Structure 1
Amino acid sequence: MVRQLKWRFLGIAIPVLLIGGIGWGSDIFIFRKHLQPDLLIRHRIYVHVIWLTYLLAVLVPPGSPPRPISPNAQLAKISTFCRKCNAIKPPRAHHCRICNTCILRMDHHCPWTNNCVGHRNLLHFIRFLLSVVIGTSSVFWNLCGRVRVLWEARHQPIYDDDVSLPEIIATIVFTPVSFFVIFTVGLLTIRTMWNLCENVTLIETWERERVDGQIRRGRLPPVEFPYDLGGPYDNLLAALGPVWRWLLPWTEPPGDGMHFDTNEDADPNTPWPPADPDEIPVYQYVERQMPPIVSNRSSTTGSVSGFPAPYFNERAARSTQLQDGYDTIESEPDDDADPNTYWRRDKWQSWEGERLEDFGVDVDAELYHRRQESDDDIDGDGENVPLGIVKRKLVGIGGRRIEEDIEGRN
């Protein structure tokens, strides 16, 4: 489960203490005296590799969209808009509330590197995880060997030259700590590799669970996740590049972080995740809600903020077709919560209790004005909508009426 730390400096301090303590502490107090030379050299190589991969995971930026961005026709169809950057947001990009910028192919903001895991540093992050698991497993194995020796020598006097009090204390401390590191980092490594085999990010696993729940309840039409190319090997190649580059410390994933291969079942003209039924589509937000800031309609081209007008019209038509069926579909969750708030991206929790903001995403940059602000507000006359409670009648399946309290805003 991903959680952001209240004190961000701990995200760097704790890994540094663990790497230095387990790696160098076990070397100084235990291994230097008892390990064979070849095993000691291997241990020190592991420690240096962990330090190198950690520094790269911390220092290499995840990658941000170029500003200004001029999308081609296909990219414009599936791009969205960032309210914080006031700019086009490519597919799979998100605005990080900690880094305060849009991140290409954002996986999550890692508190232990104080850096986002994105397009450019994904391989560095994976190398760090694998090096920690492999290196710490080697330390744990050697420590278990010393535990066995110490147990067999438990009746010997403490002043024996082969057994010292600092070694006993170091063994007692580092053995459970190294196991804890293997267990926790190992779980994260398994989860990350599993996601890579499906070509999905941590944020997208959260989105898929939320979208699938809405599809089951009829709030959204069936939609395929577009980036799963079928097999684990194909997905790994798409996410990480050729196999020979995976272990080279200076390599990065292929591509520009804005264009991605999709499967045959995906709609190439529809962004993912799909917009919620009660969200204003991005083209309406750009055109009507923020004309002084980002709406630069040309009288000759009819484009808005880099989006060619024909693709706005196509997306508007698709949105209208989908929206026609929403008011006749029952969409209440099991706990009778208001569906317009239960499924909202800033409210919904996964089965693990994770919220979108737990991954570092700036939720305010991801949301547009709600449809519940009234139809007049959607049409662009939002300044005249007073504060208060608007009663809306929704007709469900079989004529059932659902009465919802929807708070209006200026």
Structure 2
Amino acid sequence: MGGSSNVLSWFWPLARTPDRSTGLEYEVNGFEDLHVSWPPPDPDRIPLPPRDVSDGVAFTGAEGSSYDVQAFKQRKAEDLRRQAGLEIERRKRFHQRLAENSEDESQQSDGPNEKGSDYGEEGWRNSEGERLRDFGVDEDIEFYDEEDLPLGVLIQRRAQAALKELK
């Protein structure tokens, strides 16, 4: 079909197939072995040698099964004891906590060497007793915006401040 210079004979269904010697020849780089096939064989279809299975190897866990069950139950009990204190405790709302601690707050005085209060959102501690300031977070910054302004108003204020700087 493709070996002829007559293009019309390429599409003729009863035409003779050209000889293999008229086909294309490809250069070989010389790195591969000539006996290696391409594509490589499928590893799932390569037959594996038979395994040597002896009866002595099978079911070796039956001797120490009671020990294994006891060890498993002991490890499970230790895990449950360890995880008992790690459940998530949801905090009460800020205002409820503030009302509960109001009597403690009146007794406590903020001295000059104290850095922030121990109550409220700033006084938050995790289960290990670490505070936000231990991680470098400034606790004096308010957590909630007192001004809930739309974005357009904020942009307008910024533009007015920029105009004042230009004047």
**Higher helix fraction (1 or 2):** 1
TM-score (normalizing by structure 1) = 0.14
